[in-house]
Amino acid sequence: MLGLSAGSMAGAAVLRVLQTLSSLASTGLDSNKNGGDDEGQEEHATMWKLNVALEPLWKELSECISTMETELTQSSRSSVISNINIGEQIQGSSSSSPPLPPGTQRLLPFIEGFFVLCEKLQANNQTVQQDHSSVTAREVKESAGTSVSLYTKCGVDSYRRFDGSVTFARFAEKHRRLLNAFVRQNPGLLEKSLSMMLKAPRLIDFDNKRAYFRSRIRQQHDQHVSGPLRISVRRAYVLEDSYNQLRMRPSQDLKGRLNVHFQGEEGIDAGGLTREWYQVLSRVIFDKGALLFTTVGNNATFQPNPNSVYQTEHLSYFRFVGRVVAKALFDGQLLDVYFTRSFYKHILGVKVTYHDIEAVDPDYYKNLKWMLENDVSDIPDLTFSMDADEEKHILYEKTEVTDYELKPGGRNIRVTEETKHEYVDLVADHILTNAIRPQINSFLEGFDELVPRELISIFNDKELELLISGLPEIDLDDLKANAEYTGYTAASNVVQWFWEVVKGFNKEDMARLLQFVTGTSKVPLEGFKALQGISGPQRFQIHKAYGAPERLPSAHTCFNQLDLPEYSSKEQLQERLLLAIHEASEGFGFG
């Protein structure tokens, strides 16, 4: 509370002290690595004791923040901080936020000091546990009376109570909205004193992640100054010309400013021709005639085509496409391209699950889900294999297929109640990964040349779509005019509340809602009357969900269907809906 008084320097003083002690502890850690075990352990114990001593301060800090958030809510400052009990995104996150209330800024040095200590504790924790595992009873006895014994005698479990990562996660989860507000006002905090948030990227709002990503890309560009990257292409052969001129260029050259010339046309590229090149090239790359990608599900999203083997040098082309997508991110250019959720996961290095099959074949997905929820003991011919007809149907009508064993000898291994989860996982891996593994690997080879994996991994699959394709312009009136209802009518209270809540969404949450219901943030060029489902035109559906009224909304993306429970108030609907679109990434369809 002292830090909140006018003109107080307490926060800055605490921060300086913790930064100094953290630096000294780093010196002790280096000594430990160089053979000075006692000195290193002494520094570890010092930081541990310091955190114990400061626990009341961190508790008071958290209470101050909570009080401030409560006051903000009571004063109706929802444009700064809203939805205090849910997924907690700051409204207006895609635009400049209002100034923080008086007194808030004085909390920042305390928060920075807390992060400094947590980061040091986390760094030291592994070393402490390693040291502890080698400490014998005799060594513990000999260390009695020293500060080192404070944690060797207490054991690792008691130390974990003050593990920096655990303490940080609890604090950051509770106060993520205020932390994001600070980062939004000063993006440099994410690269410096609040950098530990990058270890829990789900706590960072999308606009802050995007700003951090752009900052790191600019740094990479400034560190490796490259000359302009000039290409001259023919419109009729934009894919071939671009491929031939870029595929052999060193990755360092690709970081230079792109300068495009369309042969036979006048004009100097001041940025407009580059944007046009990205647009024209992406249309050709994802055209069915190129054989590289195929549409699945509702024909709105793309996946590598297993039949690309009929394209000469197809893997080289996939590496080129990976470079183009990465170059667009590097240049801050948006592509009018939307991949399947599973392909975004491959880019991020995230494991796909059987839920991702729904976008490819919802009927097959329902069959797998039925298997997991029912006894399969009475299905004698179910083995760890896929027959040719089954594989041909699932793999986008692939023409040349053979029986496939999901694991060695799988044709002769029966699926049981105990092994059905393994079977479903292997089916998902085969359909979404193994069948197109060479194409995925080649794409990633080109992509990783420009965009570091650790940098892109701060995003989730839905955010990566928004990063590549941009936040869509969603006409809410058009969406509402083309919505259909089952179990409700347009006059139902829940439906009225739904549209009132959605009207208050920012662009990011609007995009998340569209992703949640349709599987992608793409808006049809002809408007929502042209929205496609798995079997053709399928408008935005709102169905009444029966059951417990407190359950989350669920969605069936292949039918553009939102199942909305009959909530008792608009506030409850807002809470449940926001939580669903922010946190319910999978597993809610066909519930």
Q: What are the tokens at 286?
A: 């994802």
| Whole-number percent of the chain with pLDDT over 70 | 76
Q: Which residues of 447-474 are buried (b: 16+ CB within 10 A; e: fewer)?
A: bbbbbeeeebebbbbbbbbbbbbebbeb
CA nearest 172: which of 61, 261, 92? 61
Q: How confident is the model at residue 512, as a pLDDT?
A: 93
Is residue 347 helix, strand or coil?
helix
Residue 418, phi then psi, degrees to nearest 5: -75, -25
| Whole-number percent of the chain with pLDDT over 90 | 41
Q: What are the tokens at 24?
A: 């000294």
Q: Which residues of 479-518 are buried (b: 16+ CB within 10 A; e: fewer)?
A: bbebbebeebeeebebbebbeebbeebbbbbbbbbbbbbb
Hey, what amino acid is at 125?
N
- Catalytic one of 64, 118, 154, 558: 558
Q: How confident is the model at residue 136, as a pLDDT?
A: 46
Residue partners of 206: CB distance under 8 A and separation at least 6: 93, 459, 463, 466, 508
Least confident of 162-176, 303-317, 410-424, 509-523: 162-176
Are 575 and 83 a contacting pair, CB within 8 Å? yes
CA nearest 553: which of 563, 561, 538, 566? 563
| 485 beta partners | 542
Q: Is the pLDDT of residue 455 over 90?
A: yes
**Across 290-307, average pLDDT:** 85
Angle between helices 272-285 and 314-331 (to 10 degrees): 150
Distance CA 54, CA 345 (A): 41
Question: Within 10 Å of residue 252's Cβ, how many Cβ atoms?
Answer: 12
> Which position has the higher pLDDT, 579 or 558?
579
How many angstroms separate the Cα of 529 from the Cα of each of 482, 539, 550?
Answer: 6, 6, 31
Distance CA 352, CA 345 (A): 7
At 581, the pLDDT band (50, 70, 90 cuts) reads: very high
Residue partners of 538: CB distance under 8 A and separation at least 6: 298, 531, 532, 559, 560
> Could you report how far apart the first and last alpha carbons of the chain are, in Å?
48
Q: Is the pLDDT of residue 292 over 50?
A: yes
Is residue 511 helix, strand or coil?
helix
Is residue 383 helix, strand or coil?
strand
The pairing of strands 540-545 and 483-486 is parallel
pLDDT tens digits for range 78-137: 443 343 333 333 333 444 455 676 778 888 999 999 998 888 887 766 555 555 444 444
33 CB-contact burial (10 Å; exposed 0-12 / middle 13-18 / buried 19+): exposed
At 489, the pLDDT band (50, 70, 90 cuts) reads: very high
Rounded to two decimals, the pTM is 0.81
Distance CA 158, CA 278 (A): 56
Q: What are the tokens at 22?
A: 């953290």
Is residue 386 helix, strand or coil?
strand
Q: Which domains does the chain have, with CATH numbers?
A: 2-204 (no CATH), 229-349+441-466 (3.90.1750.10), 354-432 (3.30.2160.10), 471-583 (3.30.2410.10)
Least confident of 4-13, 67-76, 142-151, 320-329: 142-151
Q: How confident is the model at residue 26, as a pLDDT?
A: 65
How many angstroms separate the Cα of 34 from the Cα of each of 30, 84, 152, 362?
Answer: 6, 48, 21, 58
Distance CA 19, CA 26 (A): 11
Q: How confident is the model at residue 583, as a pLDDT?
A: 78
Distance CA 146, CA 287 (A): 71
Q: % helix / strand / coil in the chain, to the nearest 5?
A: 60, 10, 35
Name the DSSP class of 224. Answer: S
Q: Is the pLDDT of residue 221 over 80?
A: no
Average pLDDT over the chain, rounded to an integer? 80
Q: Is the pLDDT of residue 378 over 60?
A: yes
Distance CA 288, CA 294 (A): 6
Q: Where do the DSSP E strands lie in 18-159?
A: none
Residue partners of 229: CB distance under 8 A and separation at least 6: 249, 253, 254, 256, 257, 258, 259
Q: How confident is the model at residue 269, as a pLDDT?
A: 60
Q: How confident is the model at residue 550, as a pLDDT?
A: 79
- Decide if 558 is catalytic: yes
Cα torsion 396, 398, 399, 402 to 10°: value is -130
Q: Is the pLDDT of residue 140 over 50?
A: no
Give the count of alpha carbons within 13 A of 378, CB side only: 2
**Across 415-439, average pLDDT:** 92
Distance CA 229, CA 248 (A): 13
Distance CA 475, CA 495 (A): 18
Distance CA 341, CA 144 (A): 57
268 CB-contact burial (10 Å; exposed 0-12 / middle 13-18 / buried 19+): exposed
